[in-house]
Amino acid sequence: MLRVDHAGEVGAVAIYEGQMWMLRGTPAYQEIVRMRQGEIEHLDTMERLVSTRRARPTLLLPLWRAAGFMLGAGTALLGPQSAMACTVAVETVIGQHYNEQIRHLLKEAPAGGKLPADDAELAAVFKKHRDEELEHLDTGLKWDAEKAPAYDALTQVIKLGCTLAISVVRRI
């Protein structure tokens, strides 16, 4: 779980950095800076957990940084609405992903439903991150993501890419 979440936060920071690079000087820039800061906080948490729980980060981190930056810059090149559509797509998948992880932890709870301390800590982190990611999704919608050119196609492709990325990082 931690390897996937760590890689996702690395990619999320890179996506926002690519968007910031392309949208500097636009009204959306400060909002993207704010969302990036949230992802940096998530990444810091994941790096701490990866270290303390001795999880192995994915070998694909350099690729994730590059791909994230290109996705962010590429969607921002199409305009602020497309950048926000990227946010909506990514955060939709990530919100679902965190929900799956929370459900998995709860399912593994012993009879009586109380999680062991380590799992309770993870569940709390996953819930916090999920809620903050869903706030980013809401922000994207407020910034007219759905008015992006080819919104449905764009978001479906990005969602598919995120889902495939999760699957790959689970293995590598």
**pLDDT tens track for 7-46:** 999 999 999 999 999 999 999 999 999 999 999 999 999 9
**Beta carbons of 139 and 31 less than 8 angstroms apart:** yes
* Residue type at position 6: H
DSSP string, 9-51: HHHHHHHHHHHHHHHTTSTTHHHHHHHHHHHHHHHHHHHHHHH
At 3 the pLDDT is: 96
**pLDDT tens track for 66-117:** 999 999 999 999 999 999 999 999 999 999 999 999 999 998 888 777 888 8
**Beta carbons of 148 and 134 less than 8 angstroms apart:** no
Residue position matching structure tokens 């001795």: 54
Confidence check: pLDDT of 51 > 80? yes
Number of domains into which the chain is organized: 1
Helices 61-77 & 2-23 angle (0-180, nearest 10): 40
* Closest-CA residue to 7 (of 55, 68, 74, 58): 58
What are the residues whose beta carbons fall under 8 Å from the beta carbon of 45, sequence distance 6 or more? 125, 129
At 46 the pLDDT is: 98
At 113 the pLDDT is: 72
Judge if pTM exceeds 0.85.
Answer: yes
What are the residues whose beta carbons fall under 8 Å from the beta carbon of 70, sequence distance 6 or more? 18
Confidence check: pLDDT of 154 > 90? yes
26: domain range? Answer: 2-171
* Residue type at position 64: W
At 111 the pLDDT is: 73
Would you give the distance in Å from CA 112 to the centre of its chain? 32
